[in-house]
Chains A and B, each alone.
Chain A
Amino acid sequence: MSNDPMTEIRASFFIECEELLESLQDALADMENGAKDSETINVVFRAVHSIKGGAGAFGLDALVGFAHRFETVMDELRAGRLDASPEAIKLFFHAADLLQDHVRAARDNQAPPSESEPCLHALEALIDAPTGTEEEVSDFQPMGLGFDLDSFGAEPDATSYLIRFRPLDGLYQSGNEPGYILRALAALGETEITCDSDDLPDLLTLDPERPYLSWTIRLTGTVSEAEVREVFDFVEDLSELEISLDDLPVLDLPEPAPEPPPFMPPPPSEPEAVPAPVTTQSVPAATAEKATAPPTSEAKSPTVRVDLERIDRLVNLVGELVINQAMLAQSVNEAGLAPNSAVMTGLEAFMMLTRDIQDSVMMIRAQPVKPLFQRMARIVREAAASTGKDVRFRTDGETTEVDKTVIERLADPLTHMIRNAVDHGLETPQARLAAGKPAEGSITLSAQHRSGRVIIEIRDDGAGIDRDRVRAIATSKGLIPPEAQLSDSEIDNLLFLPGFSTATEVSNLSGRGVGMDVVRSAIIALGGRIAISSERGKGSCFSISLPLTLAVLDGMVISVANETLVIPLSSILETATLTPDDIRMLHPGTHVVHMRGDFIRLLDLGAELGYRAPKQSYVGDIVLFTSKEDGTRSALVVDAIIEQRQVVIKGLERSYGHIPGIAAATILGDGQIALILDPADLASQSSTRHKRNDLSLAG
């Protein structure tokens, strides 16, 4: 099936579409934040335009129709005849969402979304009269140079440039294509292009690899010379290029040539010619973005698309390599060679290399969270529209890279939490104004790396958690006994209990209280944790902490009750040997460590995991201090620390299920399986168990 070149071209068109939609969203977000420069608007226009152009080539009429009407409005915006008011931008966002639906519907051969008409009408109502329907025809010709028929609309401060462009030998060999350059110029403003074919030899002596044509372009638009030069960035060394200011009025042009060049430049031989306009056009766009340097856009470096299965195979192989290397290291050590022998030095170099390979492989799987965040932006818009709330959505740290699997499995819980934030977190505009807050609510989604994990936060500036009400509901539903003594954070965590819903009116949007416990299990299944903090009247913050990758971690190998375990290095603060002065008994069975003025709970790892009965005395034992996200520390008693090393994570969820206090498993150098501890989960498990005991005593 993939033998059909058309299928492949079509597939790559839709991949390009996703990229274009992404840049469209970015540019709209910039506009929302006040960017009114022509480059931002051009990015919007080009994205819509390129999708339309590509769709036309594949006969995707519904998509072309929608994109065309969207583009017409964008063209008005570009020409400065339409003001990008906040309401207009909201409509543009909606149209961009619908464009995405159209693209996906076309890709999956499904019926186009039905609800696009009202949005288009609203868009077209922004401009006085629908114009530019004639453009459509010329746009799908191979050399479609955007002739703007209403040239009288040129901006007063428009500059005219006279550009002479003459390709030299080697331009075509390097894969450049004057047609696209001319098209990129046309996107900058009004162009009049004259083709000089005087050098063209007769057909017998023509060398198809050599350029014979040259062009004279008169460009009028609000662009700087640097921006014009950007277009020729890739061909500057391969052509003669003159750019000069043209003072002559447009109409006095000595040889006006308002027709496209009579024929195309030598066509590239590859069949990819059809979707290529989309690809190549995005190159000048990207470089132009770099030049004007809006904070969110980055230059695109060349990329290769690889089947995910191949990468996963590589990841697995590297995982086995690491295990094998550990086994080899162990046998070499057992052979008792001198530390500075050639074998040991070689082994050390081998270890370093393995680690480098591993890091590189993991980086292949890592992806920026940006597409995920953009999906959430859409969720916010939809949720805001259906609840009638004004919401400003901000994102931070979009370039943070996370393992692909983590990103994929994060989409559902995040969607749910975002909807919750709009629906339950934020108040109605009236309530906000009454509370002295701006009517527009704000939701911030941020991602950052912190000590070997990824922290994703969803923050709103709503009413915060009404703890009295949460408590009352939990009591009425029998989730807690009425007299239970709970701290604020314990009350907040009641939200995660199955069957809990705080919305007085259950809305369609966030469902019927099946939410937060499902969210939490999804996060836990990813090896992550979720925490809430909230301040009454100021807002709430949900913080998700996730492992960077699901494949490797740096760990401390320890032994307890003759079992070997691994503790993630990132969670260990320090280690110590306990002296009699360090340990205090809180009450029988519960000890605390008194260290540098702090009391820290002591957890006997062997007893917590059920390997042995709790010890009577911990004097002389080794403890590891670990910390949870919220800063609470615990001291884990272990029998011995063996070594510190990198381990390959093998999930237990698939083969067995979740074990409290255990994050995953790994295979050690001797082929045995060791469990990887989740110290924060272990500590919370232990405290809830104690709490339960207390509650059962109280009840």
Chain B
Amino acid sequence: MTDDLSKTTKAEVELLSFRLGGEEYSVDIMSVREIRGWTRATPLPHAPEYVRGVINLRATVLPVVDLSVRLGMPPITGDARNVIIVVQNRTHTAGLLVDAVSDILAVSNEALQAPPEIADDRAACFISALTIVENRMIRVLDLGAVLPGENSEAAA
């Protein structure tokens, strides 16, 4: 899972970090398209619990994932402080509902470490790397694993 990060030739990556249930997570800033305030999502029938629904992003339909539920934590209540991070993973665009955005961090590639193998941790497979910034542990998300796939069988 560290493959796509170790492959990058530049020595430094920029990460957008955000808070989720008191912990700090991040995504590669190159995959972030924009950040939007909280809007109510239209729920989708028969969708997995972590799919909050769809919102109108400038006349396109954007699925929104409640990242907290996806990582096995209680759902985000949804108020003015919450934000939706619009991310793109290859051709797939989706919104990640998080508590709040905190920072943009520049981290050298060497500082990124593969997470230790923890078999029974459901959230572990969504983490592609770990790093320490100013004594805070930052988790780097594997977007491919987090987003509902194009063939979201789970939705049926």
Contact = CB atoms under 8 A, between A and B. Distances in A.
Given A320-B59, A323-B59, A656 B54 contact: yes
B151 interface: yes
Nearest to B150: A657
A675 interface: yes
Contact of B61 (A319, A610, A673): A673
A659 B44 contact: yes
Given A656-B63, A667-B56, A609 B45 contact: yes
B156 interface: yes
B10 interface: no
A561 to B, nearest CB: 10
Given A665-B54, A673-B54, A656 B44 contact: yes
Interface in A649-697: 650-652, 654-662, 665, 667, 671-675
A460 B94 CA distance: 46
Nearest to B154: A657
A552 to B, nearest CB: 14
A657 B148 contact: yes
A37 interface: no
Nearest to A682: B45
Given A655-B93, A656-B54, A656-B152, A662 B44 contact: yes
A350 interface: no
Contacts of B47: 659
B54 to A, nearest CB: 5
Given A655-B93, A660-B156, A672 B40 contact: yes
Contacts of A673: 41-42, 53-56, 61
Interface in B43-82: 43-47, 51, 53-56, 59-63
A427 B93 CA distance: 50
B132 interface: no
Given A610-B45, A672-B40, A673-B54, A655 B155 contact: no
A650 B148 contact: no
Nearest to A677: B45
A310 to B, nearest CB: 18
Contacts of A209: none
Contacts of A675: 42, 44-45
B45 A319 contact: no
A203 B92 CA distance: 69
A659 B63 contact: no
Contacts of A672: 40, 42, 56
Contact of B62 (A655, A661, A671, A674): A655
A657 B63 CA distance: 10
A654 B54 CA distance: 13
Interface string A305-333: 00000000000100110010000000000
Interface residues of B, number: 28
Contact of A655 (B46, B59, B94): B94
With most chain B CB atoms within 10 A of its CB, the pick from A657, A658, A661 is A657
A665 B47 CA distance: 15
Contacts of B94: 655
A665 B46 contact: no
B60 A674 contact: no
A460 to B, nearest CB: 33
Nearest to B45: A609
Interface residues of A, number: 28
Contacts of B51: 656
Contact of A319 (B46, B59, B63, B156): B59
Contacts of A659: 44-47, 155
Contacts of A319: 59
A408 B88 CA distance: 28
A660 B154 CA distance: 12
A563 interface: yes
Interface in A586-601: none
Given A660-B156, A673-B54, A673-B55, A655 B60 contact: yes
Interface string B93-116: 110000000000000000000000
Interface in B1-55: 40-47, 51, 53-55
Contacts of B92: 655
A660 B51 CA distance: 15
B42 A656 contact: no
Nearest to A561: B43
A661 B42 contact: no
Interface in A357-408: none
Nearest to B60: A650
Contacts of A656: 44, 51, 54, 61, 63, 148, 152, 155
Contacts of B149: 657
A673 B42 CA distance: 6
Which of B45, B54, B94, B148 has the largest count of A CB atoms less than 10 A from its CB? B45
Interface string B123-156: 0000000000000000000000000111110011
Contacts of B148: 656-657
A12 to B, nearest CB: 33
Contacts of A652: 54, 61
A282 B65 CA distance: 57
Contacts of A610: 45-46
Contact of B155 (A323, A654, A657): A657
Nearest to B94: A655
A674 B53 CA distance: 11
Contacts of A650: 59-61
A657 B45 CA distance: 12
A658 B148 CA distance: 12
B11 to A, nearest CB: 35
Contacts of A654: 150
B129 to A, nearest CB: 27
A654 B62 CA distance: 10
B54 A657 contact: no
A616 B114 CA distance: 54
Contacts of B63: 655-656
A640 B49 CA distance: 27
Contacts of B150: 654, 657
A610 B152 CA distance: 18
A655 B151 CA distance: 10
Nearest to B153: A657
5 contacts: A319-B59, A655-B63, A665-B61, A672-B56, A675-B44
The 9 closest A-B pairs by CB, nearest first: A609-B45, A657-B152, A673-B42, A656-B63, A650-B61, A665-B61, A667-B56, A673-B54, A610-B45
Given A323-B59, A655-B63, A657-B150, 7 more contacts: A319-B59, A655-B54, A657-B149, A659-B47, A667-B56, A672-B56, A675-B42
